Amino acid sequence: MAFFSSTSPHQQTKRRTPEIMKMVVFALLPGIIVHSYLFGLAIYVQIALAVITALLAEAAFLALRKRSILKSIKDYTAVVTAVLLAISIPSLAPWWVIVIGTLFSIIIVKHLYGGLGQNIFNPAMAGYVLLLISFPVQMTAWLPVQSMQAFSVSFSDILSLIFTGFSIDGYSVTQVKTSIDGFTLATPLETIRNAIHSGETISETLKTTLFSSDSLQGSQWVNLAFLAGGLLLLKKQIILWYIPISFLAGVIVFSFIPFASDPDLYSSPLYHLFSGATMLGAFFILTDPVTASTTVKGRIFYGLLCALLVVVIRNVGGYPDAVAFAVLLANMCVPLIDYYSKPKVYGRRRK
Amino acid sequence: MPQETGHNTAKDMDMNEEIAAEEIVTEPVNDSAVYKELSLQGLWKNNPGIVQLLGLCPLLAVTNTLTNALGLGLATLFVVISSNILISLIRHHVPKAIRIPVFVMIIASLVSCIQLLMNAYTYQLYLSLGIFIPLIVTNCMIIGRAEAFASKNNVKHSAFDGLMMGLGFTAVLVLLGASREILAQGTLFDGIETLLGDWASFMTVTLYNTDTSFLLAALPPGAFIIMGLIIALKNIIDNKITNK
């Protein structure tokens, strides 16, 4: 019996950055499709705007830095950043919101830190935080699911809303998102926060119009679709399980503690798991190979840290969703985490 | 104990000699060359804002509008010139061991003067600058110039050094304040009447109208980012000059 012998490296698949990034975009598709089915086609306009802006900015900065433009553009990293940012913001936000966010992500967060592989912070999330802090009104104008919208919004209406701020019939975004019953809609997470601040309990809030209809389910379906895409990435071994699993487990455990102490004031773990950007964060944002921790122990700790931050910020912080802030804060800790979780070199004596 | 004192005096003597030596070197040199060098150092090569990175706290905190930046810049300019003059005048009479407390006392009394003046004449600006006026005392740029220059040089040169360093600092404040104000509100010199009086209100320029201000530029992170960009710009210009 002859054994095939070869020198290292023994891994045979030749996976380069472009293929990995293409897979990531592909895995995002289920989430995007479900989102557009439930909330309208506007998300595609945002994605197109973001991708075009990102590619132009990337090309311009590569030219300024005298790097080969085509090679770097073709690695799709800018596209992934742009898509992640575009699906994080409200889909009817004006065009300049996504343009400013993408420019900031690509130019300041990525290229000024030294380009691909050098950035400390996740570009998409840094761009998102910039937008959230700078334009709170536009960044919280979330649409209810289509079946709850006051007017049926056609594709030309969407274009007109994004580029001029008004639909063809002259309705503003605020009017469009106000449904027949005359209540405005924030994200479910935000509604719960406001209700608790005004003294209601969670179970009371969940009985209101917003939650009795399928809007909450809307964001849950999107989360499920991102979970499916994420599982595909795991299956293809584009990402390793350490970060997503430790993050999701962390969210369950950390959100259970306050929930168990007072279920009237704090949402259940299941609710935390399937609302906001939890799934998108777990599989697509936290696992960014550049800004996440790189050691096994470090990755687990990184996931847990993010989970803790998400739960704390959601429960007591000032903003409705927390994944972006949690990721940026954890990004800052990554060098330290990596330093203390360095694996032992093989053959070295234990102390 | 006696040993220690002996050691101190020896060290002080050394320092006195150094200072004396420096003065001998600077005095006979052509005066205009000295002034030219001082201006170059203060405004560009050793700019306290973007090269020495001194006094960052007020620099970043109050530059959300051009008016605030200008107000704080002028106050700092006044303090650094006067403190340089006073410290240069008394430089031979201050015992070396307690020179820092003495300098701080002088600077603090000057800052109290400017604070009372601003309270009296530019009350609105005084309110909007708030704690950062008394905090001029802790601006390292001022104590730095006192220690590094005024305590070793004659009055004329010290005053000029204070002027140039103060101008350099003010220039950075103004640049930062202007860019942040343009980005955040699309205006320039908004609220200038609080600094110069009502006659100046014509100076307020609206560059563009916006319903939604770019809040980040008005918040501290915006100050850090723009500050970084200004420093980068200076380095680019420096590189261009050396490459020529």
pLDDT 10s digits, A256-290: 998 888 887 788 888 888 877 888 889 999 998 88
Whether residue B18 has pLDDT greater than 60: no
CA distance B3 to chain A (A): 47
Residues of chain A with C-beta less than 8 angstroms from the C-beta of B216: 130, 133-134
Round to whole Å and give the CA distance between A107 and A119.
11
Question: Token digits for A233?
Answer: 């990435």
Question: Is residue A301 helix, strand or coil?
Answer: helix
Round to whole Å and give the CA distance between B107 and B101.
10
Per-residue model confidence (pLDDT) at position A249: 94
Per-residue model confidence (pLDDT) at position B11: 44
Percent of chain A whose predicted confidence (pLDDT) is above 90: 29
Query: Phi first, then psi: what are they for B211, rounded to 5°?
Result: -80, -30
Per-residue model confidence (pLDDT) at position A169: 67
Q: Average per-residue pLDDT in chain A?
A: 81
Confidence band, pLDDT 50/70/90 cuts, at residue A328: very high
Q: Are strands B205-206 and B187-188 parallel, antiparallel or unpaired?
A: antiparallel
CA distance A285 to chain B (A): 23
- Nearest Cα neighbor of B172 from B84, B34, B25, B53 is B53
Instruction: Find the farthest-apart pair of alpha carbons in chain A and give their distance in angstroms, rounded.
Output: 79
Whether residue A83 has pLDDT greater than 90: yes
B15 touches chain A (CB under 8 A): no
A137 touches chain B (CB under 8 A): yes
Query: Phi first, then psi: what are they for A174, rounded to 5°?
Result: -60, -40
Question: Token digits for A107?
Answer: 């130019």
Which residues 155-214 of B have a C-beta within 8 angstroms of A?
212, 214
Confidence band, pLDDT 50/70/90 cuts, at residue A54: very high
Round to whole Å and give the CA distance between A121 and A330.
9
Length of chain B: 244
For helices B155-185 and B220-243, the axis angle rounded to 10 degrees is: 120
Q: What does the pLDDT look like over A331-341, one tens digit per residue? A: 999 999 999 88
Q: Give the dihedral of Cα atoms A40, A46, A47, A52; nearest 10 deg.
A: 150
B214 to A108: CB separation less than 8 angstroms, yes or no? no
Confidence band, pLDDT 50/70/90 cuts, at residue A85: very high
Round to whole Å and give the CA distance between B86 and B186.
42
For chain B, helix (H) and strand (E) counts, in that order, are 11, 2
Q: What does the pLDDT look like over B49-66, one tens digit per residue? A: 888 888 788 788 888 888
ipTM: 0.73
Residues of chain B with C-beta less than 8 angstroms from the C-beta of A133: 215-216, 219, 221
CA distance A16 to chain B (A): 33
Rounded average pLDDT over A236-244: 88
Better-predicted residue by pLDDT, A205 or B224: B224
Percent of chain B whose predicted confidence (pLDDT) is above 70: 88
CA distance B44 to chain A (A): 24
Q: What is the DSSP string of chain B?
A: -HHHHHHHHHHHHHHHHHHHHHHHHHTTS-HHHHHHHHHHIIIIIT-TTTTS--SHHHHHHSTTSHHHHHHHHHHHHHHHHHHHHHHHHTTTTS-GGGHHHHHHHHHHHHHHHHHHHHHHH-HHHHHHHGGGTGGGGG-HHHHHHIIIIITTS-HHHHHHHHHHHHHHHHHHHHHHHHHHHHHHHSEESTTTHHHH-GGGGGG-EE----SS--HHHHSHHHHHHHHHHHHHHHHHHHHHHHH-
Percent of chain B whose predicted confidence (pLDDT) is above 90: 24
